[in-house]
Amino acid sequence: MTADYVVLNRTGDKMPLRGFGVWKIPKDACEETVYNAIKVGYRHFDGACDYGNEVEVGRGIKKAIDEGLVKREDLFIVTKLWNTFHNKKHVRPLCERQLKDWGLDYFDLYHVHFPIPLAYVDPSEKYPPEWFKKGKDAIELEASPMHECWAEMEKLVQDGLVRNIGVCNFNCQALIDLLTYAKIKPAVLQIELHPYLPQENLCKWVKAQGIHITAYSSFGPASYVTLGEHGKQAPSLLDHDIVNSVANKHKVSAGQVLLRWALDREFAVIPKSQNEQRMKDNFNILDIKLDSEDNKALDSLKSFNLRFNDPKVWFDLPLFA
């Protein structure tokens, strides 16, 4: 059994390593799914403005609190500032809207979702704004520098709307720039991480800065197949012979192996599932022990070097090039 949390810089808050993500969970299933996840034992929930289901996720949390399953302080709630709200005028209003949507007084961790300042979209016109303005088919950037955006993120901390702030999908260069002016450095970096894309050099450097890591897309292309051919360029990690060989050896599922691989590297994980048994399987990973032979086999998959959440593919924006 390993530690079940990491301690965040500055606040000392404990972030559970076993989290539950809500991306692509339909609105009509969200309340019950989140409620069931809390019953299973999840305490770390990861959402975003862009997911379009924050109201429904909040209802699931409220239901669990109202029934006495948990208290608010038992939960670690994470959400994200979307790209169209990077301007210093829009950071706080969005956060306040999200708090209202979740039915919360504060977030435990609030991320900048991407280092991409998209042109502002009024929520009354389109919410969530997604990547394109209404009627457009290409992204439009605006002059909203990250140093101004981050200063507003820090004010959210100072004013008690959020306890910790972090970033998602930042590469080393973007982080170096942010660290030159940040008065509150990011507590967490959330990035795509799995055996196809372990990002070892970035992770080593980030940890050396005292920044913790949350891994998303732990199952590789599984969530991206429906988004086009890009998600089909390699076998699903859940179906891969190497992953299943390790799973069979330990009498666990392929998903459990992939999540355990991440925990062994002290990454928080945020898998999602609407199936209660898979929720339980994804949660019950602390006692799995991968040995050096297992890790050698799984590490061999990095030769694929495959990224699935890539703006270059969707919008011809080479963010990670």
pLDDT in tens, 172-226: 999 999 999 999 999 999 999 999 999 999 999 999 999 999 999 999 988 886 6
Nearest-angstrom CA–CA distance, 238 and 253: 9
> According to the model, what pLDDT value does residue 232 have?
59
Instruction: Judge contact between 143 and 112, C-beta under 8 A.
Output: no
Q: Give the phi and the psi of residue 82 in degrees, each rounded to 5.
A: -80, 160
Instruction: Judge contact between 116 and 318, C-beta under 8 A.
Output: no
Nearest-angstrom CA–CA distance, 104 and 84: 23
Query: How far from 150 is each of 49, 81, 175, 186, CA to CA, in Å?
Result: 18, 11, 12, 10
3-state secondary structure of 235: coil
Predicted model pTM: 0.96
pLDDT in tens, 242-261: 999 999 999 999 999 999 99
3-state secondary structure of 261: helix
Half-sphere exposure of 184 (CA within 13 A, CB side): 25
Q: Does the pLDDT of residue 17 top 70, yes or no?
A: yes
Average pLDDT over residues 290-316: 94
- Verify whether residue 51 is a known catalytic residue: yes
Tokens representing 158 are 């100072």
The beta strand positions in the chain, using DSSP E, are: 5-7, 14-16, 19-21, 44-46, 76-81, 107-112, 162-168, 188-192, 212-216, 267-269
Q: How high does pLDDT run on average in the chain?
A: 95
Spot the catalytic one: 42, 51, 110, 216: 51
- Which residues face 216 on adjacent strands? 192
DSSP assignment, residue 83? G
**CATH code for the part of the protein at 5-315:** 3.20.20.100
Asked whether residue 240 is marked as a ligand-binding residue, the answer is no
Domain locations in the chain as residue ranges: 5-315
